[in-house]
């Protein structure tokens, strides 16, 4: 796998990358987002459908309480009825992880080769981090911070929008929406911070080229996601920000 990614990086570097590793990494990030756009679109649509189906799933949980097998069967029937493929939700994440570690291995190999690793103020072969006196750990550089921030925004946008409880809703519907909002908040608190915090820590140890790839890739993903489904779970933050700005 590392050899495969290494050959791709070297090919782009020596052809359309202008013999600059940073330029080659930006082009790889753009190319990967274009190639995997159909998969990303499928994941966004999956998240949207799951948000719509969550009240029905909660109803099935209540109906088959204590019978996990019956619930699993009923849930699969519900997915089939609405054309939802559970595997669609995790495939893009797996693809991203494969590319991430494949590129990490390739960059590690490139260190021993004579290539131009200078890109603006960064050296793509060295970590984008600062070691300050009195601070025991490395401080993340701008590329690492951007990578973590864009990952946070992308993950937040992927989160399903919680259904609003209306006055005309029946008591059962209000309870279903309330249960979903509780599960929604719990999922957000654990998932939304995982990748950004991981990258803030590991990004100070990995080559800056990886942070550049992740930043460009996430920025493009945010744009693609917005075109497909809007702000998603990020909408609540935008509303709060507008309220604060209007004061």
Give 60-74 pLDDT, tens digit per residue. Answer: 888 888 899 998 999
The reported pLDDT for the residue numbered 21 is: 93
Per-residue model confidence (pLDDT) at position 95: 75
pLDDT(144) > 80 = yes
Tell me which of 196 and 167 has the higher pLDDT.
196
| The 3-state secondary structure of the chain, one letter per residue | CHHHHHHHHHHHHHCCCCCCHHHHHHHHHHHHHHHCHHHHHHHHHHHHHHHHHHHHHHHHHHHCCCCHHHHHHHHHHHHHHCCCCHHHHCHHHHHHHHHHHHHHHHHHHHCCCCCCCEECCEECCCCCEECCCCCCCCEECHHHHHHHHHHHHHHHHHCCCCCCCCCCCCHHHHHHHHHHHHHHHHHHHHHCCHHHHHHHHHCCCCCHHHHHHHHHHHHHHHHHHHHHHCCHHHHHHHHHHHHHHHC
Q: pLDDT (tens digit, 9 = 90+) per residue, 12-48?
A: 999 999 999 999 999 999 998 898 888 777 777 777 7
For residue 77, the model assigns a pLDDT of 92
| Higher per-residue pLDDT: 164 or 2 | 2
What is the structure's pLDDT at 234? Answer: 82
% of the chain at pLDDT higher than 90: 32
> pTM of the full predicted structure?
0.78
What pLDDT band is residue 118 in, cutting at 50, 70 and 90?
Answer: very high
- Residue 191 scores a pLDDT above 70: no
């Amino acid at each position: 796998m590392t050899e495969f990614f290494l050959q791709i990086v070297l090919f782009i570097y020596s052809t359309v990358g202008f013999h600059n590793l940073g330029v080659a990494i930006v082009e790889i990030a753009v190319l990967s987002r274009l190639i995997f756009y159909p998969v990303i679109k499928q994941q966004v649509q999956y998240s949207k459908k799951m948000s719509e189906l969550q009240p029905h799933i909660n109803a099935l949980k209540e109906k088959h309480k204590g019978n996990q097998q019956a619930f699993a069967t009923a849930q699969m029937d519900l997915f089939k009825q609405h054309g939802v493929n559970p595997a669609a939700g995790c495939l893009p994440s797996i693809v991203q992880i494969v590319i991430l570690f494949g590129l990490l291995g390739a960059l590690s190999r490139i260190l021993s080769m004579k290539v131009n690793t200078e890109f603006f103020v960064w050296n793509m072969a060295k970590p984008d981090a600062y070691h300050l006196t009195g601070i025991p750990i490395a401080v993340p550089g701008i590329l690492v911070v951007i990578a973590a921030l864009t990952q946070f925004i992308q993950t937040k946008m992927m989160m399903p929008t919680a259904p609003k409880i209306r006055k005309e809703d029946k008591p059962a519907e209000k309870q279903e929406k309330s249960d979903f909002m509780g599960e929604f908040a719990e999922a957000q608190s654990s998932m939304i911070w995982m990748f950004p915090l991981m990258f803030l820590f590991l990004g100070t140890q990995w080559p800056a080229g990886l942070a550049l790839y992740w930043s460009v890739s996430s920025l493009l993903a945010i744009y693609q996601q917005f075109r497909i489904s809007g702000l998603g779970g990020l909408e609540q933050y935008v509303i709060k920000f507008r309220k604060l700005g209007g004061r």
